Amino acid sequence: MAQEAYITGLGMSEVGVRLARSPLGLTVDAVREAIADAGLTLDQIDGVATYPGKMQSFLGFSPISSDDLIETLGLKTRWHIGAAEATAQLGAIAEAANAVKAGLARHILCFRTVYEAGALARPEEFPPLERRKDVTGNSQWVSPFGAFSAANWTAQFAMRHMKRYGLTREQLAQVALNDHANAALNPRAIVKKPLTMDDYMSARMISTPFCLYDCDRFTDCSTVVIVSAGDALDEIKTVPIRLAASAGSVERYSWDQAEWASAYPTGRDLWKNTDYKAKDVDTVQFYDGFAFQPITWLEGLGFCDVGEGGRFLEGGKRIARDGELPMNTGGGQLGWGRLHGFGFAYEAVVQLRGEGGARQIPGDPKVAIATSGGGPMAAALLLTKD
């Protein structure tokens, strides 16, 4: 029988805005917690995966590379990757699953450390990104026109959805309202209380149709998941959650040349890689750096027809914890914080283990989806307890 891959350990550092602790310290905190959760010791770790790894960018975006962690922890690894060019954030976990399935490693530490808030507070240590001269790559096609932020790029997809399919701000608001309601029950979330429709409608605009509550905010945190091989589960003390399938399809790798985000081809292709169907899914953890993105995942994965995502969200009941498709039960990035993708895999595992506490969804969930990415980047994971 072919080797399977499982998520066997979860760890997370303190989550906050402008934390005093260093990004390396946060990463080690999260690693310690994940190792203890799984019941492993560091000398059993033989692989490391991260997204993205060191790159030419604002240092707070990716302060810790895979080699930083290997050196810091004194690991002896057989496999590692910085997944900067992989499908999207969760592509690092998908690659780790492929590595253990191929027998290249037994227990892989997968981490995402973000330090954008802390870095902005310490410009001498983390120089700001130069956006004004010598811009290259994707940035040269958008930043000269003041479209500095992915908020501007994603907002244009949302505006087209409004014009073509009738998406309303009241429907869009349900993503932030749902995130805040769930975050209020998550002790690790940066948001502590629910949001009302009045709060939402009176918030200042960022980039139409997105108001302040439609956009995630810089957060300092490290999130770790451990991916283990199926034949190493006797070394693990947690309920293993299987990485049953993944996808990460792209049709145009250019933010402003694609008609819609890659959530559509990625969502379609996830179902080609598994016998599970959308109707089997008990909870979804959809990337929501901007509130429009879950609509693309709902439609791309076939939970509703293309153009119907807004009406699926209407009133918020279907995505609530006791609804037919509980979504972003930990608070998503609008409530938990900008954990940048890995928080969705973390929360899917929490729910499948039944460890959600006050935010645990009813029943005995067995199938979850976690996604990451907006625009041309997209990754989806199907996670099962079976």
Partner 1 sequence: MVWQRSRPRLDKDNRAFWTGGAEGKLNIARCGDCGGFIHPPREICRFCLSENVAPFAVSGAGVVDTYTVNHQAWAKDMEVPFVIARVRLDDAPGVYLTTNIVNCPVDAVDIDDPVQVVFEEQDGIWFPLFEKVA
Output 136 or 362, the one with its CB closest to partner 1: 136
Q: Which of 208, 277, 305, 358 binds partner 1 (CB under 8 A)?
A: 208
What distance in Å separates the CA atoms of residue 27 and residue 282, rounded to the nearest whole number? 31
∠ at Cα 123 (121, 289), nearest 5°? 60
Q: Smallest distance from the beta carbon of 291 to partner 1, in angstroms?
A: 14
- Of 199-207, 218-226, 308-316, 326-334, the segment contacting partner 1 by CB under 8 A is 199-207
Structure tokens at 379: 């990754």
In this structure, the strands spanning 241-247 and 79-82 are unpaired
User: 317-326: which pairs have CB atoms within 8 A and are 24 or more residues apart?
Assistant: 319/174, 319/178, 320/178, 320/181, 321/182, 321/359, 321/361, 321/362, 322/361, 322/362, 325/281, 325/283, 325/284, 326/282, 326/283, 326/284, 326/351, 326/361
251-290 positions binding partner 1, by CB under 8 A: 254, 256-257
To partner 1, the closest distance from the beta carbon of 212 in angstroms equals 9
- Rank residues 292 and 346 by Cβ distance to partner 1 and give the closer one: 292
Measured from the CB of residue 214, what is the shortest distance to partner 1 in angstroms? Answer: 12
Closest CB 164 distance from partner 1, rounded Å? 8
Residue listed under structure tokens 């998550």: 186
122-181 residues in contact with partner 1 (CB under 8 A) are: 131-136, 139-149, 151-153, 155-160, 163
Q: Contact letters (x/-) for partner 1, 81-120, by CB under 8 A? A: ----------------------------------------
Q: Indicate the residue among 65 and 293 with the shorter CB distance to partner 1.
A: 293
Do residues 340 and 216 make contact, with C-beta atoms less than 8 angstroms apart?
no
Q: By CB under 8 A, which span of 12-20, 24-32, 168-176, 208-216 interacts with partner 1?
A: 208-216
207 belongs to the binding site for partner 1 (CB under 8 A):
yes
Smallest distance, partner 1 to C-beta of residue 258, A = 9
Identity of the residue, 72 or 149, whose beta carbon is nearer to partner 1 in the bound complex: 149
The single residue listed with the structure tokens 């240590």 is 125
Judge residue 123's burial from the number of C-beta atoms within 10 Å of its C-beta, 0-12 exposed, 13-18 middle, 19 or more buried. exposed
Q: At 295, which helix (H) or strand (E)?
A: helix 293-300
Size of the site for partner 1 (CB under 8 A): 37
Contact 143, 135 (CB under 8 A): yes
Do 105 and 66 contact (CB within 8 A), yes or no? no
- Cα dihedral sign, 263-112-84-247: negative
User: Minimum distance between the CB of residue 248 and partner 1, rounded to whole angstroms?
Assistant: 21
Q: By the criterion CB under 8 A, which residues form the site for partner 1?
A: 131-136, 139-149, 151-153, 155-160, 163, 204-210, 254, 256-257
